[in-house]
Amino acid sequence: MKYHSSQPMKTLPVKSLVVAAILALTGSARADITVKGSDTLVILAQKWAEVYMGKHAGAKIQVTGGGTGTGFAALQNQTTDLCDASRKIKAKEIEACIKAFGKRPTEYKVAIDGLSVFVSADNPLKEISVPQLESIFTGKIRNWKEVGGPDAPITVYSRENSSGTYEFFKEHVLQGKDFAASAQTMPGTAAVLQAVAKDKHGIGYGGAAYGAGAKHLAVKADESSPAIEPTEENVVGQKYPIWRYLFIYVNPALDKGEVATYLKWIRSDEGQRIVKDVGYFPLPTLLREK
């Protein structure tokens, strides 16, 4: 507002200033919500933000990826409100958060994922076992003929080590062993998928929502188990061997107001419908109530 010299500025009473401050905090003026972390979750997180902002005038949500590890670092540094994660938080990350803001971050399960194994559409293989995957990704098996495929060298595509998907795959499929030195590191699941789609000898892994462009293999827990497709029924029922929860972590001090409303909406029926639309799997009702 502009004041003319002939009309001196009036000082607002303290009560009016207090009321104005309360309105600014509780009314239409909302603080931005920042979301950072998992590249697996970034497509879903962007869709959540888009739909929520469309329904809540004035809400502003900024979503970026960079990997789960990057998200936890931002949470510790207090440069993001929400951390998207495709794995559970580690003990050392909890310690860093407690050191930074005095409390353990609150964990919310927000979706279920079947970690898919991708190969080229030209690859005749239809199924693979977890032990075979371990041998391929650690470099013990180097030719497709060793797992029933063509006589051709295997090209392994993996994620960068800041990725929660990388760490989940390493822990649950490779049993903690290192990836083969020959594995080609890609900056995101979309990049893994694109590489595999163009390489008829390639193999990679990633979230279920990234399946377009290549084909996924049915996976057996071991050589004597049936091959299981990563369908919703099999993943949510925990029959598919490589399933996981997807998470959001938040500083408890920030889990109020618009942030708390947004987190509750994500776990609502509406938010969980978006999970399915994107290609992941909704949480069972009992898990949404936390």
CATH number of residue 99's parent domain: 3.40.190.10
The answer to the question of residue 3 being in a domain is: no
pLDDT digits (tens, 9 = 90+) for 98-110: 999 999 999 999 9
> Chain-centre distance of CA 80, in angstroms?
15
Least confident of 19-23, 53-57, 123-127, 283-287: 19-23
Domain shared by 276 and 259, yes or no: yes
pLDDT band at 287 (very low <50, low <70, confident <90, very high): confident
Above 50 in pLDDT, residue 156?
A: yes
Q: Tell me which residue has tokens 């970034």.
A: 42
Domain shared by 122 and 235, yes or no: yes
CA dihedral angle for residue 255, residue 256, residue 261, residue 266, rounded to 10 degrees = 0
Summarize the confidence of residues 221-250 as an average pLDDT: 96
The answer to the question of residue 8 being in a domain is: no
Mean pLDDT of the chain: 89
Neighbour-count burial of 65, counting CB atoms closer than 10 A to its CB (0-12 exposed, 13-18 middle, 19+ buried): buried
pLDDT band at 290 (very low <50, low <70, confident <90, very high): low
pLDDT band at 288 (very low <50, low <70, confident <90, very high): confident
> What domain range includes position 261?
14-112+246-288
The answer to the question of residue 27 being in a domain is: yes
pLDDT band at 141 (very low <50, low <70, confident <90, very high): very high
259 φψ region: left (φ > 0), alpha (ψ -120 to 50), beta (else) = alpha
The answer to the question of residue 5 being in a domain is: no
Above 50 in pLDDT, residue 184?
A: yes
Domain shared by 153 and 41, yes or no: no
The model carries a pTM of 0.83
Give the integer Cα–Cα distance in Å for 113 and 220.
Answer: 17
Domain shared by 142 and 84, yes or no: no
Residue 223 three-state SS: coil
Give the integer Cα–Cα distance in Å for 215 and 205.
Answer: 11
